[in-house]
Amino acid sequence: MIATIVLVLVIGVLRPTFLNPGQLLDVLNNSVYVALLAAGMAFLLAMREIDLSVGATFGLTLIVTALLIRSGVNSWLAMVVGIGLGAVLGLVNAMVVRYIAIPAFVATLATMQVFRGLAVALGDGQQVNGLPLDDPFFVVLGGDFLGLPVSVWILILVTAGLTALLRWTPFGYRVRSIGSNPDAAAFSGISIANTRTLVLVLVGAVGGLAGVLGLAFFTSGDPNIGLGFELQAIAAAVIGGTPLRGGVATVVGAVFGAILLGVVDSGLVYFNIPANWSAFTTGLVVLLAVGVDSALRSRRRARESAFGL
């Protein structure tokens, strides 16, 4: 959060128009979708797992919801179907991991292609247009409430809920225990397979929610939307303080990591830097964040050793 605020102020000093409230709200709104995916990814990273299909889940749920609305299905029902579809896709990932007995990284690498291919096939390789933009679905979810986009309010609620789930429930304890020491967790009676299944379903449902909100904002369905979101979500979680070694995670940090990446992307535009450099800059930010985190942990361990802790 501090790094995000400092970066915003630095860019604002050099480009004062960046501090325009409307511009800051745009940056925040554009970060919502990766932030939601990163919030779910924090659970998986806490278990030493990774889901590479979240970007494809986002795209597929967005396309399916758009097609349902265009075909005349009630928009709110279509929204529920979209979120439910995301949960089903997460369950598919879990079943592949569980019954084929392969790591989630490999399984979701395959399902990423499957889900993305379905999105392209269902959309016939074209954008899904012709949606009723005066429908309450677009008016409400794509609108503002108390000065903030509705999607941002939903992100705040989801962040609070997932934080409580991770920190203060038995489920969150099991997730962190598995990441800290899988063997000890299994010995204590925690079902690693069942917990992993629930986490993957949760991540899929959050991806479905992100897809629904993305449709309300973009007002059309692009089969290729969400490309690269999985890597951005992982990067955001790592930047936010969730290490790949497992055992600990911070949902709030993952969300702010996504916002930080959004500020970086927007800052590149303000400095007229080509968008092609976005991935390069994101990589540097991740390296910097991981390096600082590693240095801080090393200092903490050295200090604890010096005091015999």
The enclosing H or E element of 126 equals none
Does 285 map to a domain? no
Q: Which of residues 243 and 177 earns the better pLDDT score?
A: 177
Contact 57, 177 (CB under 8 A): no
pLDDT at 18 over 60: yes
Whether 161 and 144 have beta carbons less than 8 Å apart is answered as: no
Q: Is residue 304 part of a domain?
A: no
Instruction: Tell how far CA 226 is from the center of its chain.
Output: 11
Q: Which of 42-51, 95-104, 121-130, 192-201 shows the lowest per-residue confidence on average (mean pLDDT)?
A: 121-130
Q: What is the pLDDT of residue 304?
A: 65
* φ and ψ of 135, to 5 deg: -65, 140
Which pTM was predicted? 0.89
Q: Which domain holds residue 167?
A: 2-277
251 within some domain: yes
The 10 Å Cβ neighbour count of residue 217 is: 17
In a domain, 205, yes or no: yes
User: Does the residue 203 lie in any domain?
Assistant: yes
Tell me, what's the pLDDT at 89? 94
CATH number for 251: 1.10.3470
138-149 per-position pLDDT tens digit: 888 888 888 888
Asked whether residue 211 is domain-assigned, the answer is yes
Is residue 283 situated within a structural domain? no
Q: Structural domain tally of the chain?
A: 1
Q: Which residues contact 22 (CB under 8 A, 6 or more apart)?
A: none
Q: Phi and psi at residue 52, in whole multiples of 5°?
A: -90, 0
What is the Cα–Cα distance from 256 to 39, expressed in whole angstroms? 10
More confident residue, 287 or 52: 52
Determine, yes or no, domain membership for 296: no
